[in-house]
Each structure stands twice: as structure tokens, then as C-alpha cells.
Amino acid sequence: MTDMIPAWVNGTLTPVEKLEAHVKGLRHKAISVFLMRGDKVLLQRRALGKYHTPGLWANTCCTHPHWGEAAMDCATRRLDQELGLDGVTLTFRDTVEYRADVGSGLIEHEVVDIFVGDLPEGREARPNPDEVMDTIWQPLPEVMRAVVETPHVFTPWLQIYLRDHASVIFHDA
């Protein structure tokens, strides 16, 4: 079964195969989640088998909603699928748009609903190795500095979020 995601084609929101959206650089819907523990943010390192940006560090989780799937439902589903975390309360922060080359001729042109949640001490991620090769809790200021100093180890979207949208995403962190 192909993974149909919501994308704009000729100004109309239409179900499109995920890879097609990235090959053509179509504007499409996405979600991103940032889990916090105090001033620390949970980052994931993308599995080497991912079809773009393998091995790079990203925010806690991100994906595309299925056609007809609500953004919050998608965020909750994906936290469980990627990191084995269920029952996490998420708060919607904002919708942002970006366009980025993610390598191999693929373009992310995303309209992203961003969610933030708190993960208490004692709850730990159980990464799905098909999705995530590593996780780390890092103080937000250290992540922001590392993204500037070593951008090649971070996904383009994490760089954009921290450069252009940190005040909205982390306003109470």
C-alpha cells in the first residue's frame, strides 16, 4: 500500500504518494514533535535505512499525516511508532512552512503543525530501529549552538526550526 499524504496540486489539497511529493517538491502537510524534560529536548538520530537524511539528528519525531488524518492524531501515532511513547500529552504550538533540499533530488516543502510535550523522568523512549538509530536528551542552548557549529549532522528542518521558529516552539522552555 502506498503512503498517501495531503499535498496541494494546482491549489487543491489532494492525496499524493509521499515519495512523489518529495520528488516533485509539492507543498504538503507534516507534523513535528518536540518532547521536553525541563530545559532538555529529546533528539533522535534517523535510522540509516531512511530514504532521506539518514543518520542525521532531528527533533523528537516528525512525519506526514495520512490522507484524512488529523495532525494531533498523527503526532500521537508517530511518537508511538518511532519511539514507543504513548499517552504523551501534546500541545499545538504553531503551523510553519519551509522548503528544503534533503538530498538525493528530494525536496521537503512542508506546512508543519508543531507540537510540544513534557516527558517526565522515568519515562524513556524505546526507539524503533527501522526509524531511529539513537536518541539523546540535550539542553536546548547546546542544541542551538551545535546546529550553528556543525549543521551537517542535523536535518535541514531542525536547523530551520531552531533558526526561525525557536521563540514560538520553546517560549516556555
Per annotation, catalytic residue among 17, 61, 62, 131: 62
The whole-angstrom separation of Cα 159 and Cα 83 is 21
Name 71's Cβ contacts closer than 8 Å, sequence gap at least 6. 29, 31, 65, 92, 113, 115
What is the C-alpha separation between 166 and 143, in angstroms, rounded?
11
Q: Is 62 a catalytic residue?
A: yes
Catalytic residue from among 61, 82, 108, 110: 110
Going by C-beta distance under 8 Å and a sequence separation of 6 or more, which residues neighbour residue 14? 6, 7, 8
Which residues belong to the active site? Answer: 62, 110
